[in-house]
Amino acid sequence: MASETGPELNPDTTGGRLRRYLNVERYLDETTSPRRALLVYGLLFLYFAWFLVPVIWLALSTVKSGAIIQADRLIIIPSAEHFTLGHYEQVLTNPQFIRLFVNSTVIALSTVVLTLSVGILGAYSLSRFSYPGRSAILVSFMATKMLPPALIIIPFFLMMYSYTLVDTYLGIILAHSIRALPLALWLLKGFFDDIPQALDESARIDGCSHFRTLVHIIIPLALPGIAVAAFYTFVTSWNDFLFVSVLSQSGTTRTLPFGLFLFQSQNSINWGATITAATITAVPSIVLFALVQNEIVEGLASGGMHGE
Amino acid sequence: MTYENTAVMSSAQAAWQEKARRILDEADWYTRETWVGYGLVIPATALMLVIIVYPTLQAIWISFHQRSFLHPEQSTWVGLANYGQLLEDPVFATAFIHTVIFTVGAVGAMYLLGLGLALLLRHNLPGLGLLRSLSMVPWVIPPVVIVIIWTWMFQVDYGLVNLILVQFGGPNKYWFGDINLALPLVMMLRVWKDTPFVAIALLASMQSIPDEYYEAARIDGAGNLEQFRYITLPNISYISMVMIVIEVIAAFNSFQMIYIATGGGPVNATEVLGTYVYEQAFGQYVLGYASAVGVVMLVLLTVFTAIYIKLENTS
């Protein structure tokens, strides 16, 4: 099959044997010549040097001892004597860092629970019912994404101030939930729309209540989509700097991004601890992304992106 | 009436009654459904009304007042004074120009780079599946970590960028502190973060184009460039529009990474509207003036979105 479409193949040369061994012909067809493949890899190398070198450099630097972390010569991989896990030990045993991590986790998980609870009910309604004003509601939700967060934070702070919710978990959770809700709702509705209506209609005819239809049919079928919405909501909360910087006035509610910012501005010399704390902060986002990446890429192609 | 007749009558009657009941049921069903539909969407809508719509209206209201962050309970009506002050504020003008440059430059760059990356990743070659996943790493990293990564890379003497530049006899300095380079650098951070997102969305859209289109074009003798121009581009135009609108709104509202990286400095070189609102509200404590700046942003974004919706409806 391959030899019919592939370019001329001389089995006697080394190149020919190598290509046969790697089964290169499987990939080469009339649109992808070997020269083009080389060009593609060359350009991709440039892209990924830009994307990944900074991240790899950060991660490698976290295991360099204090003696070489700020060395004025290029040391890519530290030798055994300069290798250390001391920065991790220092950060992970620091009570302030632990507090930040716990705050971030509690706030992000609570935001996911609140956003998904109202989001799933709302998306079920927008996907399965028809009533006057339905599409207006949907468009209004997305329109709120347009509002400048820097503007919203001013009256939002005043509102939280008058309800004495400044410097509380609840105030921050509410702020993060409204930031995440529009897109979460939109994503969920898209995923619910992909489930055939016939399934839940037949359940309804068999006497299932709306609640049971939602819990036993829609939610199990939409689980991958719900995972994407949960990931998106978690990351919105986990990554937020703006709302926490205004609503959190003490260490009791401060989360990692704002904590890192304060730490960095106070300890501009102690890079070892700063970059290690930064690395640890990035890990949950990256790991959760790895778990749902296929659904996210599909969601960009279908559910999340086609409009009404 | 015979016994049989009664039976016939009653069965006809029963059938009629059954039909009537079904019609009534259905009518009841529709109204009940509508109310259940509203009921389910109420929690989400209420949350948005109370926590987004009401504060937005209140922000517009505050922009006509003088109000301090230190005494939030005191508020004095000043009419359009805050807006008058805007027109004479050179920093506002600077922030406005920077915001436009930042938005146009960053979104333009991330779209072109994203399109290029999508076209590369679309090839059917070994290893590209892995690269597709890895490309999203910058997109998921928290912004504060992105800033730490890049400021660390640009440190004098030991930052990776300076280490490499010095090898080639280049300058050794803290690049974010350079008044001419600070704005391009914070734009680069934004482009670095969002290019993968744009690329993967465009790639997904490209992959849904049927292969037959390209085969037909090749048979007609269309080259690579013509295939791109007449098949790929028209088929990704919808997603392109959506991505550009999303990214323009996000870039225009930029605050987080710029504020953390430079705080708007050096000497206002990276001051944008987002950082200026924040600085005025929580640095200078003038909530009324800060709100006025924010309302200007809101109006500009509304106009932009309205134009987009109009364009989409007409095309």
The predicted complex's ipTM stands at: 0.86
The kind and range of the H/E element at B66 are strand B65-67
Distance in Å, alpha carbon of A258 to nearest chain B alpha carbon = 8
Q: What's residue A13's pLDDT?
A: 66
Considering the domain boundaries, does residue A160 fall inside one? yes
Residues of chain B contacting residue A124, judged by C-beta atoms under 8 Å apart: 40
Name the residue among A240, A266, A265, A267 with its Cα closest to residue A253.
A240
Whether residues B134 and A185 touch (CB distance < 8 A) is answered with no
Considering only CB atoms, A121 lies closest to which of B43, B218, B260, namely: B43
Q: What CATH number is associated with residue A195?
A: 1.10.3720.10
Q: What's residue A299's pLDDT?
A: 63
Average pLDDT over residues B163-185: 87
Average pLDDT over residues B210-224: 88
* Bond from prior residue into A34 cis (ω within 30 degrees of 0): no
C-alpha distances (whole Å) from A235 to each of A230, A283, A289, B167 are 9, 11, 9, 39
Q: What's residue B160's pLDDT?
A: 87
End-to-end CA distance of chain A: 44
Considering only CB atoms, A48 lies closest to which of B37, B123, B131, namely: B131
Is pLDDT of B296 > 80?
A: yes
Q: Is A64 helix (H, G, I), strand (E, B) or coil?
A: strand
For residues A267 and A174, the model is more confident at A174
3-state secondary structure A179-245: HHHHHHHHHHHHHHHCCCHHHHHHHHHCCCCHHHHHHHHHHHHCHHHHHHHHHHHHHHHHHCCHHHH
Distance in Å, alpha carbon of A37 to nearest chain B alpha carbon = 7
Considering the domain boundaries, does residue A15 fall inside one? no
Whether residues B148 and A55 touch (CB distance < 8 A) is answered with no
Q: What's residue B187's pLDDT?
A: 96
Q: What is the mean pLDDT of chain A?
A: 84
**Are the beta carbons of A166 and A246 closer than 8 angstroms?**
no
For residues B221 and B105, the model is more confident at B105
Average pLDDT over residues B130-134: 87
pLDDT digits (tens, 9 = 90+) for B233-268: 998 998 899 899 989 999 999 999 999 999 888 889
Least confident among A40-54, A85-99, B60-74, B177-191 = B60-74
State the count of interchain CB pairs (< 8 A) between A and B: 268
Longest dimension (CA), chain B: 117
For residues B193 and B4, the model is more confident at B193
Q: What's residue B191's pLDDT?
A: 97
Residue range B81-314 in CATH 3.90.226.10: no
Q: Residue B94: CB partners within 8 Å, gap ≥ 6?
A: B268, B271
Q: What's residue A173's pLDDT?
A: 96
Considering only CB atoms, B41 lies closest to which of A27, A126, A130, namely: A126
Whether residues B37 and A125 touch (CB distance < 8 A) is answered with yes
CA–CA separation, A108 vs A106, rounded Å?
A: 6
Q: What's residue B102's pLDDT?
A: 97
Q: What's residue A305's pLDDT?
A: 45
Cβ neighbourhood burial of A197 (10 Å; 0-12, 13-18, 19+):
exposed
pLDDT above 70 coverage of chain B, percent: 92
CA–CA separation, A73 vs B173, rounded Å?
A: 15
Residues in chain A: 308
Overall domain count for chain A:
1
Q: What's residue B35's pLDDT?
A: 81
Considering only CB atoms, A43 lies closest to which of B120, B157, B294, namely: B120
Strand partners, B65: B77
Considering the domain boundaries, does residue A54 fall inside one? no
Average pLDDT over residues A209-238: 90
B38 pLDDT band (50/70/90 cuts)?
confident
Residues of chain B contacting residue A177, judged by C-beta atoms under 8 Å apart: 47
Considering the domain boundaries, does residue A255 fall inside one? yes
CA–CA separation, A252 vs B313, rounded Å?
A: 49
Whether residues B163 and A286 touch (CB distance < 8 A) is answered with no
Distance in Å, alpha carbon of A239 to nearest chain B alpha carbon = 5
Is pLDDT of A33 > 90?
A: no
What does the buried/exposed string (b/e) look like for A110-125 if buried means 16 or more CB atoms within 10 Å of the residue's CB?
bbbebbbebbbbbbbb
Q: What's residue B23's pLDDT?
A: 65
Q: What's residue B25's pLDDT?
A: 62
Considering the domain boundaries, does residue A152 fall inside one? yes
Average pLDDT over residues A250-271: 86
Considering the domain boundaries, does residue A10 fall inside one? no
A5 pLDDT band (50/70/90 cuts)?
very low
Distance in Å, alpha carbon of A255 to nearest chain B alpha carbon = 12
Q: What is the mean pLDDT of chain B?
A: 87
Q: What's residue A144's pLDDT?
A: 84
Average pLDDT over residues B110-137: 91
Look up the domain containing A249 and give its range. Answer: 90-301
Q: Residue A94: CB partners within 8 Å, gap ≥ 6?
A: none
C-alpha distances (whole Å) from A78 to each of A82, A271, A275, A296, B156 are 6, 16, 16, 36, 20
Considering the domain boundaries, does residue A112 fall inside one? yes
What residue in A sits closest to B125 (Cα-Cα)?
A27
Is pLDDT of A15 > 70?
A: no
Average pLDDT over residues B113-128: 91
Considering the domain boundaries, does residue A60 fall inside one? no
Is pLDDT of B2 > 50?
A: no
Q: What's residue B9's pLDDT?
A: 55
Whether residues B148 and A278 touch (CB distance < 8 A) is answered with yes
